Amino acid sequence: MRIAFFVNSIEDETPTFTTTSLAMAALSRGHDICYLTPGDFVLRADDSLSVRGRVLPGKRYKKAESFHAALQGDEATIETMDVSEVDVLFLRNDPSLDADGRPWAAHVGAMFGRLAAARGTLVVNDPDGLSLAQNKLYFQGFPQAVRPQTLISKSIDEIRGFIDLHKEGVIMKPLQGSGGKNVFKIGSTGEANLNQIFEAVSGEGYLIAQNYLAAATEGDIRLFLMNGRPLEKDGTYAAIRRVPAKGEVRSNIHAAGTAVKVEITPEILAIAEMVRPKLVEDGMFLVGLDIVGDKILEINVFTPGGLSSMFDLYGVDFSENVIVALENKVTQRDAYAGAIANRILATL
């Protein structure tokens, strides 16, 4: 089968990205792959949908660096193909990265993904589900038991009142965005730079304030879910603990966080089970949960990362499991001749 990976840009891809791991796993299983970016869709006058894909030769790469060099170099060719020639469209872009500089590009994946699904291509995560998750407000639709206490507002007075209620401090961040950008810990309303922080963050729109969780000093746990359940292979869960750098609130790996092994406890599995029904309902095939203590700080449904770090730590290739799951879905789609809706098939 042919799998198309939709990303923000080819230039920004790196050997350590989870998309790289997934693409290499697809190649190793004999599939054709290509990469798409926001400008690569063409809807023609006859209502046919085409894509301009960056295609890599069907060979296996032993190292991620070699794969990445081929993707960026002359080995890759540009081919125009009807979307019917694409079995799976894997939406792996981060809308927040395009929100400021290229607002037209931010939601192209979900827009054209919906058209691709209507023409028979399996699209994951489901584009309708992703449209519901365009900002962190989506998180509020999950059970309150797994969420920190949260305020969403653009009012500095409301923010101050919320801070006063939480003597352990609060975390403040923009409603839209990802990757740990503009995330601040506020200890009290007496902090001298509170107004400056508020102005900086509120310039991006609404703010989220959440009560600070003391367990965050140990970092958060990134746990992958596939088809609504924890991704597991040979008794090992696809999970890492992301430990923040000294003096840093964020535990994101690109913010100098460190990935270490983690034991997944029954309590963590219970948290994952709590969010499973909605993720399945929304067609969220591959998801990353960020867990601190007994709470989820964030649910990444667009570009959950960390599979390469997990391979380095455990020596387990979880990406292969993901590709096998897609193979099974395409088999089911073909057997039912398109009678199963994309959102259902995405997490079947």
Nearest of 219, 295, 211, 294 to residue 259 by alpha carbon: 219
pLDDT in tens, 281-318: 999 999 999 999 999 999 999 999 999 999 999 999 99
Stretch 204-224: mean pLDDT: 89
Tokens of 26: 């697809």
For the whole model, what pTM was predicted?
0.91
pLDDT in tens, 234-282: 999 999 999 876 655 545 544 447 899 999 999 999 999 999 999 999 9
pLDDT in tens, 140-161: 999 999 999 999 999 989 999 9
The span from the CA of 69 to the CA of 75, in Å, is 9
Count CA within 13 A, CB hemisphere, residue 37. 13
Pick left, alpha or beta for residue 108 (phi over 0 → left; psi -120 to 50 → alpha; otherwise beta): alpha
